[in-house]
């Protein structure tokens, strides 16, 4: 899985220098963070609808779209998929309740 994410991350970096007229990703980058986040929101909503419908193929397809657009967001912010994987690894074995408590700012 990591290989796919790494290859996609590299492609997304390359698209930063591409012409928005010839690259969908470059067009997203040209819209700035707000445009990218709007697309992430749209894809999240489509993923929710697919999950509610219960169609496995649609769930997979829409989740792939959501992950892709989240990766565009990460790349825009100068982050890599490995940064997210590292955070997931940090949380491994930690209960959700404990993890939430560790973020409290009291």
Query: Inter-axis angle of helices 56-76 and 2-15, to 10 degrees?
Result: 50
Helix extents (H) in the chain = 2-15, 24-30, 32-53, 56-76, 81-91, 96-102
pLDDT tens digits along 67-94: 999 999 999 999 999 999 999 998 888 7
Instruction: Please tell me the predicted confidence (pLDDT) of residue 54.
Output: 97
pLDDT tens digits along 14-57: 999 999 999 999 999 999 999 999 999 999 999 999 999 999 99
Give pTM, 2 decimals. Answer: 0.86
The band of 99, judged by pLDDT with boundaries at 50, 70 and 90, is: low
Instruction: Please tell me the predicted confidence (pLDDT) of residue 101.
Output: 72
């Amino acid at each position: 899985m990591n290989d796919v994410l790494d290859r996609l991350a590299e492609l997304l970096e390359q698209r930063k220098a591409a012409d928005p007229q010839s690259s969908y990703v470059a067009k997203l980058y040209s819209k700035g963070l707000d445009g990218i986040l709007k697309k992430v929101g749209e894809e999240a909503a489509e993923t929710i609808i697919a999950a509610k419908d219960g169609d496995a193929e649609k769930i997979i397809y829409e989740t792939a779209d959501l992950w892709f657009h989240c990766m565009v967001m990460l790349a825009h912010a100068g982050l890599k998929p490995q940064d997210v994987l590292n955070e997931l690894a940090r949380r491994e074995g930690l209960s959700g309740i404990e993890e939430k408590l560790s973020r409290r700012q009291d």
